[in-house]
Amino acid sequence: MNRIAKRFARLKESQEKGFVVYIGGGDPNLGATADLACAFDKLGVDVLEIGVPFSDPLADGLVNQLAAQRGLESRTTPPLILKTVRQIRETSEIPIVLYVYFNLLHRFGFARFIQEAANAGVDGLLVLDLPPEESENYETLMGDAGLSVIYLIAPTTPEDRIEFIVRRATGFIYYVSREGVTGMQSKISMTIGEMISRIRAHTDLPIAIGFGISNPDQAAAVAREAEAVVVGSAIVNQIAEHGKSADLVSKVAAFVEPMIKAVKRSIETI
């Protein structure tokens, strides 16, 4: 059982909801990525997603595109991301998922990347542009390495494909709560409850809801519908705003903490 499975088992036992954070690797630099990871762990973040910078992040909105650009400008590469994960593992056991585009894995070497990610202390991969129908031996390689296979389900995913996807996923299901790319939104989707019920009909895996959640009220509302909430762009935006500040980590932590508390309290209102 890897760290992701252990964390969700612990959350279920304690009847808590999970809080997942996304940040861009190397934004503004890899030292900051490691420091933020350790700060998030201390705050009570349950899973950390680290985006591997890529030149054509088609699933991402402007905020995360700019984070990827800053990561590339800081000369962040897949091997340096793995080196940073190893550094994080010296002081933290926070579950880590790499959010990555397939071209990077292809160039690195598919099987080699999976094994080196596992050796570094990564717990799962979310490959944005790798449909399960085209994954070939990806899931086998991931299972052999002890890594979770995180797949996305969207509001437009038909029933038969939901069933197909969840059969092949491990760790948790990432439900994209609205159509389009990543980005902050002023209100949450009204169809979340219906879609979560449809997904639950096919799997017992935990469901994490993301895309557009940007404040404590939204986080608490979404947490009532699933096992975890994912917040990315709103946090990445804070990193962009304070990236040159010596207080970057404390400022981002101060932004994240109220959302964690809102998610953890959400069980009380169910």
At residue 48, the pLDDT reads: 98
CB 145 within 8 A of CB 111: no
At residue 229, the pLDDT reads: 96
CB 267 within 8 A of CB 247: no
Mean pLDDT of 131-146: 92
12: CATH: 3.20.20.70
At residue 136, the pLDDT reads: 78
For residue 112, pLDDT over 70 is answered with yes
pTM above 0.85, yes or no: yes
Minimum mean pLDDT range among 180-184, 189-193, 209-213 = 180-184
Task: Count CB neighbours of 26 within 10 A.
Answer: 27
Confidence of residue 1 (pLDDT cuts 50, 70, 90): confident
Between CA 210 and CA 70 the distance in angstroms is 23
Between CA 250 and CA 38 the distance in angstroms is 12
Supply the range of the domain harboring residue 74: 3-269
More confident residue, 197 or 188: 197
What total number of domains does the chain contain? 1
Confidence of residue 180 (pLDDT cuts 50, 70, 90): very low
Burial status of residue 215 (CB atoms within 10 A of its CB: 0-12, 13-18, 19 or more): middle
For the stretch 40-68, pLDDT in tens is 999 999 999 999 999 998 888 889 999 99
At residue 242, the pLDDT reads: 96
**Identity of the amino acid at 93:** E
For the stretch 148-178, pLDDT in tens is 999 999 999 999 999 999 999 999 999 997 5
Q: Residues of the chain with pLDDT > 90: what percent?
A: 83
Confidence of residue 189 (pLDDT cuts 50, 70, 90): low
Q: What residues are annotated to the active site? A: 49, 60
